[in-house]
Amino acid sequence: MLNETPIFEKKNVIVTGGAGFLGSHLCEKLLREAKVICIDDLSNSNIQNIDHLLQYPDFEFIKYDVNKPINLDDFDELDKFRVKFQGVQEIYHFACPTSPRNFEKLKMHSLWANSNAMISTLDLAVKYKAKYLFASSSVVYGDPTSEHNVFSEEDEGMVEHLSPRGCYDEGKRFAETCVETYRQVYGIDVKIARVFTTYGPRMKLRDGLLVPDFILNAIEGKDLVIYGDGDMKMSFCYITDMIDGFIKLMQTGPEMSIVNLGSDQVISVAEVANMIISMTNSSSRLTNEEALVFLTKKGAPNLRRAKEMMGWIPLVRLEDGLRNTIDYTIANKEMVGLNQSQNI
């Protein structure tokens, strides 16, 4: 199914969850080439993430819950984008809460995001014959083991669908099924990005997220808390690399539908914590606490498909990405405080 609607000036692009961590960075990058419609209900994100974008005529923020059916004709503010004539060319669906510390309170939101919101956004893609990209997660592969901790797109993971995390882990698997079913039935060009751990400016503070909490505690001279296994290893992809991956994936043809995005360089969480202590000249020490439900072991991505079919590789060194994130946190911790949030 091809979108043959004429484009008058720039393409129209929708980003759901656009005021969140990933979404706000994507909106910012897309403004170089597109008119961006950012849809977010701010239930788990923050308007401060997109404050600097509101001045641009090619950017429009709509406060709306995408778990409900979406009718763009209801929003007069979109008249300037001539949506009724030009339609929408691309949809990035990022809206889903990912709060480790507040996961229990957001279970229903996760369930809705991986079901109702899938249908409403995919219906919109069918209506406008738009290309569609869904931000899935590496959790669909299940827990890594010592024998199998690097995942390829062909791997079929095992997920405990009735576990306390089921609304997110199994939810992401169901969400991928929604995307693929719409492709089979309606012939739309859909993409699934399986996102591995990503970090950078605008992540939520004090929310159980490793990097920002490590930085904040190091700045304040508090202990850096490692939840669960002190030997846990992870990969860390900087936000600008991840955003480039999303855009490159959206630019591919219909033959490209699922791809891993993340860093294939694995490092222990303790090493990252010690790097942050050193970079902030902190006197903090490491401590261990019981694992958070939402914060579990994750494997690393096999990036062969991304490298060979998209020409994408993560470029930002961990040291450089951490430095940027530290600088941002120092500059914004008082202003943003505990209200800073993300939505991916």
What domains appear along the chain, each with residue ranges and CATH number?
Answer: 11-205+237-262+297-315 (3.40.50.720)
pLDDT in tens, 131-155: 999 999 999 988 877 778 888 889 8
Least confident of 20-34, 209-223, 239-253: 209-223
pLDDT tens, residue by residue, 37-66: 999 999 888 899 999 999 999 999 999 999
The yes-or-no answer on residue 168 being catalytic is yes
Arithmetic mean of pLDDT over the chain: 89
Q: 5 or 123, which is more confident?
A: 123
Give the DSSP letter of residue 308.
I
- Whole-prediction pTM value? 0.91
For 39, the 3-state DSSP assignment is: strand
Q: How far apart are the C-alpha atoms of 315 and 313, rounded to whole Å?
A: 6
Residues 6+ positions from 318 with CB-CB distance below 8 Å: 236, 238, 263, 265, 267, 272, 275
- Written as one string, the DSSP assignment of 91-131 is EEE------STTGGGGHHHHHHHTTHHHHHHHHHHHHHT-E
Query: Which pair of structure tokens corresponds to residue 307?
Result: 């490298």
- The amino acid occupying position 138 is S
- Residue with more model confidence, 5 or 329: 329
Instruction: Pick 68 or 110 by higher pLDDT.
Output: 68
Q: Nearest 5°: phi and psi at 66?
A: -75, 0
In one-letter notation, the amino acid at residue 334 is: E
Q: 158 pLDDT exceeds 80?
A: no
Query: Residue written as tokens 């969850």?
Result: 17
Residue 128's CB is within 10 A of a number of other CB atoms, namely 22
* Phi, psi angle pair for 232, to nearest 5°: -60, 135
The total of other beta-carbon atoms located within 10 Å of residue 229's CB is 14
Predicted confidence at residue 246, as pLDDT, reads 98
CB atoms within 10 A of CB 100: 18
Query: Which of 107, 90, 123, 118 shows the shortest CA–CA distance to 44?
Result: 107
Q: How far is CA 85 from CA 4, 72, 79, in A?
A: 12, 12, 10
For residue 207, what pLDDT band results from cuts at 50, 70 and 90? Answer: confident
C-alpha distances in Å from residue 81, one per residue of 9, 10, 92, 125, 322: 9, 9, 17, 17, 38
Which pLDDT does position 9 carry in this prediction?
77
**In the structure, what pLDDT confidence band is assigned to residue 225 with cuts at 50, 70 and 90?**
confident
> In the chain, what percentage of residues exceed pLDDT 70?
90
Please determine, for residue 130, whether its predicted confidence score (pLDDT) is greater than 70.
yes
Phi, psi (degrees; rounded to nearest 5) at 324: -60, -40
Contact (CB, 8 A) for 53 and 27: yes
Of 92, 141, 168, 182, the catalytic one is 168
Looking at residue 154, the DSSP 8-state letter turns out to be T
